[in-house]
Amino acid sequence: MNILRLNPEDYTTKLPRAYYSDSLDMELAENIWNFEVNGLPEDGNYNLRLKFIKNISSAEIRIKDKNFTELIIKKQNAEIPVSINNRILSFDIRLNDNADCGSSPFSGVTLSAPVTLQDFAPYTRQTALENCNLLNDWKTSYKKIMAEDFNLDEIMKMRDEIFDWIATRQILDEKDPHYGAVYSEENKYCFKDAIFAAASFMKRYLRNGDKTYLQRAVAAKDYCFKGQYLNSGDKGKDGAWAAMGIIDDAEGKNFRRITDKWAQASGVDTFIIGIISGELHGMGLPFTESQLTQLEAAVEWNMQNSIESGWFSHHEGMTLTCVNVNSLAASMIYSVHKILMEIKGHGLDIKILNEADLSVRNVLNCQEAIGVYPYRRGDTKRGGKYWCNNFPDNGIGLQAIMYLLKNKYSPFSFKETSPHFRKTALWYLLCSRMEKDRLVLEYRTDEEFLKGLAFGNFTWCRITMMDIISQIWGHIGDTPFWKQFIRCHLRTIRETLWNYDDKLHAPVKASVVPVRLVSWIQQAEWAAFVLDNLAIRYGLIKNQESKKCQK
């Protein structure tokens, strides 16, 4: 049997007690150690062998989120069978002895593995927990968060300011090829922006009954549906939406008008448009027969371009397994399924739904102990830390899961997934810090980071975080605390990330510090939609019934 040796010093750490209880106790658990290694060579059934330091004779083990069970230790050694999925091994050890173990209770950890004998040491685990200044005096930090008194009525004002701005940017000349689109301050007429504009206009129509906003919503939705590749004969494109200003396509950076040469077919944009189409349907906005066919074509593109069973594609030609893409694709599949069931009386093939279910399970299995999801399966570069580098992919992916959990046709529930989302909330909490008496989500100002896309600095990342936590705060315990946590972040956005004077730019600023406007940064329409939902979840306004809409 070949052996894979794992250095305990590289992969063992302690986590706050909150990860092992229903409390918000942020003291490190004294007698529990978490061992986690990602990026293992391959999945499969292994024997895990643990060699303990001296004087340890009694311990319990918990693998992933299962219960602690007794571990039989003989002469400082224990062995247990484990199944590795998605190339990650994660377990907790709780000691029943009062032994001084230092940084790790192990002197050796090995896996019997179908690989050549080797030391597995591609990285050293560093969670960066020590960077969270909330933990310097958690009792005081907790009191500050619970004492937050930001006026929640500001949420509706923030929403309306963005609604008003979006309306001034919408193209209403029916002769213009961009009729219905919203002209972004990123100098593009993005299809993704248009679908969120449609959702925002529908929100306003349902609140005030002004049919001009219904007409705006229809125009924005119809423009969005002009952006799909159809009948090109290229299976890498047909059914997917073209992405304006796409960041990793040299030609795509110049694609900012519908009349330009179209660029990369984007799975991400396609999935988002499918998901929000489901929200529009729920609000009563009608879809034409041809648009329903387009949504089915989007699902077909997803299936035709999947990387492997249970893993969907980020964009045409993509062969890497992006975790957040699975969340988006599965949610889109169930959104389209729901639309078809409610309009036509029949939905998608069960094989497609089964693939969506498998993709969600793959996502959940990729979550790391601290609550973060790596960008890609087995990725050790963007994961494993309390830092801003994973805000974009975790935010967009988990927001998509929220839509999935609310879908009555989905087999997944908030109750079933609540342990995962409690860890998500804790991760966001420990990625926050106090800055001049305001709670801020971590950001970076170092030159190296700002030379790139600096995704983690986007205000949009803060918006998705608020949307996620506001939907799970009733399922993960400590609801009053999480409501106050989001309230703190609302204050920070209103006071530091809001534009009050410049009418040429959106009310919500693009990023915490200036970054290169490339794509995906100014998501004003997205923010307005989320703010309206936040007002509902805080009980400030009612969730309006959908109306039967006529063009």
Q: What is the 3-state secondary structure (H, E, C) of 109-141?
A: EEEECCCCCEEECCCCCCCCHHHCHHHHHHHHH
- Cα 64 to Cα 13, 41, 89, 429: the distances in Å are 15, 19, 8, 21
Query: Rounded to a whole number, what is the largest CA-CA distance in the chain?
Result: 82
For residues 551 and 217, what is the distance between their CA atoms, to the nearest angstrom?
10
The domain spans of the chain are 2-125, 152-231+240-544
Q: What pLDDT was estimated at residue 549? A: 56
- Model confidence over 445-475: pLDDT tens digits? 998 898 888 899 999 999 999 999 999 999 9
Query: Sign of the C-alpha dihedral, residues 169, 277, 465, 161?
Result: positive
What mean pLDDT comes out for the span 264-270? 95
Instruction: Please give the span between the terminal C-alpha atoms of the chain, in angstroms, as a whole number.
Output: 69
Q: Using pLDDT thresholds of 50, 70 and 90, give the confidence band for residue 181.
A: very high
In the beta sheet, which residues pair with residue 391? none
Q: Using pLDDT thresholds of 50, 70 and 90, give the confidence band for residue 404.
A: very high
CATH code that applies to domain 2-125: 2.60.120
Structure tokens at 158: 């923030």
Q: Quote the mean pLDDT of the chain.
A: 93
330 pLDDT above the threshold of 70: yes
294 pLDDT above the threshold of 90: yes
Question: What's the Rg (C-alpha) of the chain?
Answer: 24
76 pLDDT above the threshold of 50: yes
What mean pLDDT comes out for the span 165-178? 98
Q: What pLDDT was estimated at residue 37? A: 96
For residues 544 and 528, what is the distance between their CA atoms, to the nearest angstrom?
16
Higher pLDDT among residues 104 and 452, named by residue? 104
152-231+240-544 has CATH 3.40.50.620 classification: no
- Model confidence over 407-442: pLDDT tens digits? 999 999 999 999 999 999 999 999 999 999 999 999
249 pLDDT above the threshold of 80: no
What mean pLDDT comes out for the span 242-259? 80
Q: Using pLDDT thresholds of 50, 70 and 90, give the confidence band for residue 551.
A: very low
- 183-187, 208-212, 370-374: which has the minimum mean pLDDT? 183-187
What mean pLDDT comes out for the span 353-381? 96
Classify the phi-psi angles of 457: left when phi > 0, otherwise alpha if psi is within -120 to 50, otherwise beta.
alpha
Q: Using pLDDT thresholds of 50, 70 and 90, give the confidence band for residue 192.
A: very high
Classify the phi-psi angles of 376: left when phi > 0, otherwise alpha if psi is within -120 to 50, otherwise beta.
beta
Q: What pLDDT was estimated at residue 56? A: 86
**Residue 153 DSSP symbol:** T
- Model confidence over 477-488: pLDDT tens digits? 999 999 999 999
* Whether 360 contacts 412, CB under 8 Å: yes
For residues 254 and 237, what is the distance between their CA atoms, to the nearest angstrom?
18
**Half-sphere exposure (CA, 13 Å, Cβ side) for 143?**
4
> pTM of this prediction?
0.95
Higher pLDDT among residues 207 and 546, named by residue? 207
66 pLDDT above the threshold of 90: no
- Model confidence over 105-161: pLDDT tens digits? 999 999 986 655 567 778 999 999 999 999 999 999 999 999 999 999 999 999 999
Q: What pLDDT was estimated at residue 139? A: 97
Q: Using pLDDT thresholds of 50, 70 and 90, give the confidence band for residue 518.
A: low
Structure tokens at 419: 């342990």
CA torsion angle 524 526 527 530 (round to 10): 160
- 55-69, 400-414, 527-541: which has the minimum mean pLDDT? 55-69
* Whether 46 contacts 91, CB under 8 Å: no
Q: What pLDDT was estimated at residue 509? A: 94
Closest residue by Cα to residue 194 from 157, 240, 155, 227: 227
Q: What is the 3-state secondary structure (H, E, C) of 412-481?
A: CCHHHHHHHHHHHHHHHHHCEEEECCEEEECCCCCHHHHHCCCHHHEHHHHHHHHHHHHHHCCCCCCHHH
Q: What pLDDT was estimated at residue 100? A: 76
Q: What pLDDT was estimated at residue 54? A: 77
φ, ψ of residue 382 in degrees (nearest 5): -115, 75
Q: Using pLDDT thresholds of 50, 70 and 90, give the confidence band for residue 324.
A: very high
What mean pLDDT comes out for the span 493-502? 96
Q: What pLDDT was estimated at residue 146? A: 98
247 pLDDT above the threshold of 70: no
What mean pLDDT comes out for the span 29-58? 91
381 pLDDT above the threshold of 90: no
Residue found under tokens 């930001």: 150
Q: Please count the residues of the chain.
A: 551
Strand-pair category, 77-84 with 44-52:
antiparallel
**Residue 19 DSSP symbol:** G
What mean pLDDT comes out for the span 161-169? 97
Q: What pLDDT was estimated at residue 252? A: 63
Q: What pLDDT was estimated at residue 360? A: 98
What mean pLDDT comes out for the span 352-362? 98
